[in-house]
Amino acid sequence: MRFQCSFCLSIVSTDQPLGNKIPCPSCGRSCFVPRSHSEEHCVIGDFVVGKKVGSGSIGSVFKAKQLSLERDVALKLLLPELSSPKFVSAFLKEARAAAQLSHANLVQAYAVGEENGICYLAMNYIDGESLSHRLEREGSIAVDEALHIIQQVAEALYYAWDEARLIHRDVKPDNIMITKEGMVKLTDLGLAMNQAEWTEDMEISGSPSYMSPEQFAGEKLDTRSDIYSLGVTLYQMLSGELPFKGETFQDVARQHFNEDSVPLHRLGLGISLKVSNLVKKMMEKLPEDRHENMEGLLKELWTVRQTTAPDRDLVPDVHTISINKLDYDLQNRSIRNKVSPQERIKKLKGRRDFLFWLLVTVFPLPIVVLAVFLFFRETRKEPPLTLLLEEKMQDFAARFEKKQIHPTLMSVEAEQLMHTVPPRGRQTVRQSVIYWQLKCFLEKIENEKLKIDMDDSRMLIKSLEDKYRRELSGKNLVSKKMQASSGALKKQLADHRSKAEKMIEVNKKLSQQIEHDKKNITALQTDIFHFKRNYMLVQLYVLIQKPDFEMAYAMLEHCREILGKKFAGEYSSMKALIARLELLTQYFSKGNARMLGKPLEPGCKITMIRNGIVYYEDDSGDIRSKPVFEIPDKALFKLVRSTDKRVAGSFKVFSSDMALLNNCPEAPEAVIGGSCAKELVTAYVNFQVERIIALGKRNHAAAKKLAEKMVYRFRLSPLCKDIELKLKAFL
């Protein structure tokens, strides 16, 4: 492992175990080997790892220093638990994607490599904050500033798509950085994908709150998917809330597919309709309903900003890189007032030369020599250790003044810092000052520790005195409490008895309420069962009238599954009824060879039966026809009975079956012949009655006409009285 010595800043190479204490080969000071390859001062490749600044989809990001060029970089390290070939491939893919793109609004890759099993990617360091951190701090962002940020991100996405057909797939506030100069940088290309790489079995990747519907579905993506994610981000920037929130992945996905976000102009935030419509179009469910491409989005962004920007002339044109903050006047003033480093050096040098010649002119030569010696002695270059000690000393002094750490810990830290100061004979003036400052601090710390010990002693004495007083007064109160306790206990006992009686009464009422609720639940379950049963019987009746016996059998099976054991008895009877009706339908639609030549009426012989029409030859030899439903049931029963006794059964059942086939629920035979037929007809009649009652709530006159027709139609049916009772309000 390689790491940087914290004292002399030289690079140390060692094979010692992580966390061990070793001497620095350069300065001889004792230093610790980092406990991990991602700890501060660890050296990976050409980079010294600094503090952690963030995390990406597959790794952590650290601020680092590039040794060869002495510049700050952002160093992304692949997480150790993700060192499988799959994630290494994704890591290298991000590096290649960042390397082939060069745009002001995209992070730029500097180097990629592997050392000691750690994959790393060096990128340009962005001195600023992420959009997500800003939203956490401010809640929401002003309209034109939000559009300004989105415009820059859209430029980056346009360039990635136009240059390499890359889709980012993870656009969200965490991956949008804003520099102190106001530049926007799109980061984390770990999930970026070339459109040509798409396959049907690809793993679905992304952040659920910002993913497009087609991304959830695993469909082929294009730049319009990034437009959707950018729209969600803009919605969050303006409203301070995500448009879709859920506790589970499935819940969030369902909202992205099926629900529409609340329009921004209706949130009472003063957002214009144009901005609201822009966000709505970006978040359309279907890709074809969004902007055709990123070019179209950029043009509409520019158009909308003409109405939101304080100064239209400052809105950058499409594909024009913006490098300024929104407050251009303030920025220009700061540029005018800024003094270059060369000018500052020139002024300081002139001031030093002036002081030198002043001393030469005014003071005698020995004093001048001494002053010049001291002046230039103080201004000579100090070793790097002095600067490090001064920095640590300032930090130590600040924390001491704020009393952020206990004096004991401060004492230990001061002793450790004292050991890093060179011995007395090898100290520079500034190092000597630091040494005596530390001595003073140690004395102050000892005084603080003594004060704390004295305060602790006083508090202990006071607590012991208080305890003694409490015990003394407690002994005097014991007898009084014992006397009062018997009366209090008696009172409590009476209260408990009263509460117990009340609880018994409450429990009794609750038991009665539970029994009542059980009865209501049972009645409700019965009503639900009858409702489902009647609904399905009506469907069965309609299927018989079509006729569609295949669907009728299927509906019957469905009834048995839904209604369960309570329907088991009716199931067999209903199945037999459907079988009879199907057989009769076949007889009277396709005919039967055994019926040919059979007498229909005296002197009339059947010649053919087809599609419900009976063709027969009369006495004169003429061929006549008559619909089946016009032939009396007795004649039909006798005819069918003579050919197939299985079909006919009893006359009552036959009459009931024919009434059902002929759609004559008003016929008395329909409800007299069999229980199954009666149940079907009753369910159908109740359904018609409910329709009339429902119509009556909107149009009483129309409902009245239908009620009168229905009563007249069923005047001969045994169900007539029940119908009149239910439709009494319309008669």
Query: CATH number, domain at 258?
Result: 1.10.510.10
Q: Which helix (H) or strand (E) holds 268?
A: none
**Res. 450: pLDDT tops 80:** yes
* 247 and 302 both lie in a single domain: yes
Asked whether residue 256 is assigned to any structural domain, the reply reads yes
Q: Tokens in use for 51?
A: 């503090």
* 180 and 226 both lie in a single domain: yes
Please report, for the domain that includes residue 73, its CATH number. 3.30.200.20
Residues linked to residue 23 through DSSP beta bridges, in sequence order:
30
The type of residue at 220 is K
* 193 and 318 both lie in a single domain: yes
What's the distance, CA 288 to chain centroid?
24
Task: Identify the band that residue 340 occupies on the pLDDT scale cut at 50, 70 and 90.
Answer: very low
Q: What is the pLDDT of residue 372?
A: 46
* 411 and 557 both lie in a single domain: no
* 186 and 64 both lie in a single domain: no
Asked whether residue 169 is assigned to any structural domain, the reply reads yes
Mean pLDDT (the chain, rounded): 83
pTM for the full predicted model: 0.45
Q: Tokens in use for 155?
A: 């430029």
Residue reference for tokens 């279907």: 286
> Which range marks the domain in which residue 425 is found?
344-444
* 165 and 116 both lie in a single domain: no
Q: Tokens in use for 361?
A: 């002119």
Tell me if the bond preceding 243 is cis, omega within 30° of 0: no
The type of residue at 477 is L
Q: How many CB atoms lie within 10 A of CB 613?
A: 14
* 388 and 407 both lie in a single domain: yes
Asked whether residue 385 is assigned to any structural domain, the reply reads yes
**Res. 331: pLDDT tops 70:** no
Decide if 324 contacts 331 (C-beta within 8 A): yes
* 385 and 242 both lie in a single domain: no
* 392 and 434 both lie in a single domain: yes
Last residue of one domain, picked from the residues 81, 97, 124: 124
Pairing state between β 193-194 and 166-167: antiparallel
Q: What is the pLDDT of residue 344?
A: 40
Of 144, 170, 188, 226, the catalytic one is 170
What is the three-class DSSP state of 298? helix
The mean pLDDT of 549-555, rounded to a whole number, is 92
Asked whether residue 272 is assigned to any structural domain, the reply reads yes
Distance CA 685, CA 663 (A): 12
**Res. 619: pLDDT tops 50:** yes
Q: How many CB atoms lie within 10 A of CB 177?
A: 25
**Res. 689: pLDDT tops 60:** yes
Decide if 708 contacts 696 (C-beta within 8 A): no
Asked whether residue 3 is assigned to any structural domain, the reply reads no
Distance CA 90, CA 432 (A): 54
* 322 and 359 both lie in a single domain: no
Task: Identify the band that residue 364 occupies on the pLDDT scale cut at 50, 70 and 90.
Answer: low
Asked whether residue 704 is assigned to any structural domain, the reply reads yes
* 270 and 303 both lie in a single domain: yes
Asked whether residue 424 is assigned to any structural domain, the reply reads yes
Asked whether residue 454 is assigned to any structural domain, the reply reads no
The question of whether 170 is a catalytic residue gets the answer: yes
The mean pLDDT of 147-165, rounded to a whole number, is 93
**Which of 260-269, 286-295, 352-361, 529-538 has the lowest average pLDDT?**
352-361
Higher pLDDT, residue 568 or 88? 568
**Res. 202: pLDDT tops 80:** no
Last residue of one domain, picked from the residues 124, 145, 160: 124
**Considering its fold, how many domains does the chain have in total?**
4
* 302 and 162 both lie in a single domain: yes
Last residue of one domain, picked from the residues 91, 124, 157: 124
Decide if 555 contacts 543 (C-beta within 8 A): yes
The most confident of 36-45, 97-106, 135-144, by mean pLDDT: 135-144
